[in-house]
Amino acid sequence: MREQFPFFAAHPDLVYLDSAATSQKPQVVLNALQDYYVNENANVHRGLYRLAFATTERYEAIRQQVAAFLNAAQAEEIVFTRGTTDSLNLVAQSFGPQTVRAGDEILVSAAEHHSNFIPWQQLAVRVGAKFVVAPVTATGDTDPAAVAKLITPRTRILALAQVTNVTGGLVPVRQLADLVHAVGGVVVVDGAQSVPHMPVDVQALGADFFAFSGHKVYGPTGIGVLYGRLPLLDAMPPVQFGGEMIDEVTDVRSTWAPVPLKFEAGTPNIAGVYGLSAALTFLQAQDWSTVRAREFQLVTALRTGLTQIPGVQLYGTANSLGIVSFTLTGVHPHDLATFLDEQAVAVRAGHHCAQPLMARLGVPATVRASFAGYNTPADVARLVAAVAEARGYFLGTD
């Protein structure tokens, strides 16, 4: 698999363990971007010439592909966005004020990424709703029992990551969705970290909305997806206005195109859509049970290796989907990451856009290693050896 990623030929010595931030791109995705710009570069939904028709047709065919990929009931339920952040903000800004009233409740987990936390917090402030943050487990994972306990008849929105980005913990969304639906609420699922690691069926999941980013699933940056159940999307107002999202515009009023175009104002990221298509095809060609087994092997090897180093504190569990977060007592995570970088090991260190979670774990930051299909046991060995060396460098050998 690694050979399909030109990045590794360009960086032969680099151990890349930051795929939860962004994945590397296989040649097929790079080819798709080039193919669009060289062979099919025309705007969509506008031109009255054959090339523009063909490009529009391909763009809409890719919408169908994404719908099938997520098992959405129809292509109109797929909105192309700039990414997960953009998708979640769209729901919060359009569906939110329409649905949530003063005194209602919006429920999230303390393990959410800021992009699935702040939009809801700000919506609550705007409409006078209660923003409820469910506590996490001792390992920093979303606690389904704690979330369930906080669902009340006033819960209008439950927003959860299916897989969290600090620990890689998998959240049993379906069970919680059933409870929220029973009180008439909706469920918004942040799939930024789940789509790279598992097949997703939005209907089986009970998701009313589902968001993910192209760049974390071997696709390009600047392209993402929002899935929404058709009756919900249909009733929502657009939040961006401009070209191609209208039905009719006069001096005094405007009406909107049907979904999904009413949410895609302006020229979309057409090349990104082509690249996303290639990335999803690439992802679908994988055997998920093999992917899961390999990731489990890497996570287990890394956790086992790090446990041998005195002072290492691990977060999350062994069932994490391709993410291991840790700290080394006495060494700031940023210093550790800088040391690792000098050994050509790229990891992320920081709060991971999850400050509410860091506050609960009682740390300012962690070091996070995250895997994708191109990582190998040799990458794990390099990281473990480098952390052991860092310990000696910063703390001496005692």
121 counts as binding ligand PMP under rule CB under 6 A: no
Please identify, among the stretches 41-49, 82-90, 135-143, 287-295, the one whose residues bind ligand PMP according to the rule CB under 6 A: 82-90
> Rounded to whole angstroms, what are the CA distances from 271 to 44, 59, 249, 274, 302?
11, 9, 29, 5, 37
Sheet strands (E) in 77-140:
78-81, 105-109, 130-134
Instruction: Identify the burial level of 172 via C-beta atoms within 10 angstroms of its C-beta, where 0-12 means exposed, 13-18 middle and 19 or more buried.
Output: middle
In the complex, least distance from residue 311 CB atom to ligand PMP, rounded to whole angstroms: 27
115 counts as binding ligand PMP under rule CB under 6 A: yes
193 counts as binding ligand PMP under rule CB under 6 A: yes
In the complex, least distance from residue 214 CB atom to ligand PMP, rounded to whole angstroms: 8
108 counts as binding ligand PMP under rule CB under 6 A: no
Catalytic residue check, 353: yes
> Rounded to whole angstroms, what are the CA distances from 71 to 47, 187, 189, 294?
31, 17, 15, 25
> Rounded to whole angstroms, what are the CA distances from 93 to 1, 79, 232?
40, 15, 13
Integer Cα distance of 367 and 161 in angstroms: 20
Please identify, among the stretches 30-38, 78-86, 199-207, 292-300, the one whose residues bind ligand PMP according to the rule CB under 6 A: 78-86
| Amino acid at site 356 | P
In the complex, least distance from residue 40 CB atom to ligand PMP, rounded to whole angstroms: 25
161 counts as binding ligand PMP under rule CB under 6 A: yes
| Amino acid at site 256 | W
93 counts as binding ligand PMP under rule CB under 6 A: no
109 counts as binding ligand PMP under rule CB under 6 A: no
Count, residues near ligand PMP per rule CB under 6 A: 13
Ramachandran region, residue 389 (left: φ > 0; alpha: ψ -120 to 50; beta: rest):
alpha
Integer Cα distance of 169 and 150 in angstroms: 20
Integer Cα distance of 153 and 121 in angstroms: 19
Question: Whose Cβ is closer to ligand PMP: residue 230's or residue 239's?
Answer: 239
165 counts as binding ligand PMP under rule CB under 6 A: yes
Q: What share of the chain is helix, strand, coil (3-state, %, to 5)?
A: 45, 20, 40
Which residues are 350's β-sheet partners? 366
With CB under 6 A as the contact rule, the residue among 25, 58, 63, 113 that binds ligand PMP is 113
Integer Cα distance of 63 and 270 in angstroms: 11
With CB under 6 A as the contact rule, the residue among 83, 185, 219, 373 that binds ligand PMP is 83
With CB under 6 A as the contact rule, the residue among 24, 55, 65, 84 that binds ligand PMP is 84
192 counts as binding ligand PMP under rule CB under 6 A: yes
Please identify, among the stretches 11-19, 48-56, 186-194, 355-363, the one whose residues bind ligand PMP according to the rule CB under 6 A: 186-194
264 counts as binding ligand PMP under rule CB under 6 A: no
> What is the SS3 assignment for 313?
strand
With CB under 6 A as the contact rule, the residue among 19, 23, 85, 375 that binds ligand PMP is 85
Find the catalytic residue in 30, 230, 301, 353. 353
With CB under 6 A as the contact rule, the residue among 77, 105, 141, 190 that binds ligand PMP is 190
In the complex, least distance from residue 88 CB atom to ligand PMP, rounded to whole angstroms: 7
Integer Cα distance of 175 and 204 in angstroms: 11
Binding site for ligand PMP (CB under 6 A): 83-85, 113, 115-116, 161, 165, 190, 192-193, 213, 353
List active site positions.
353
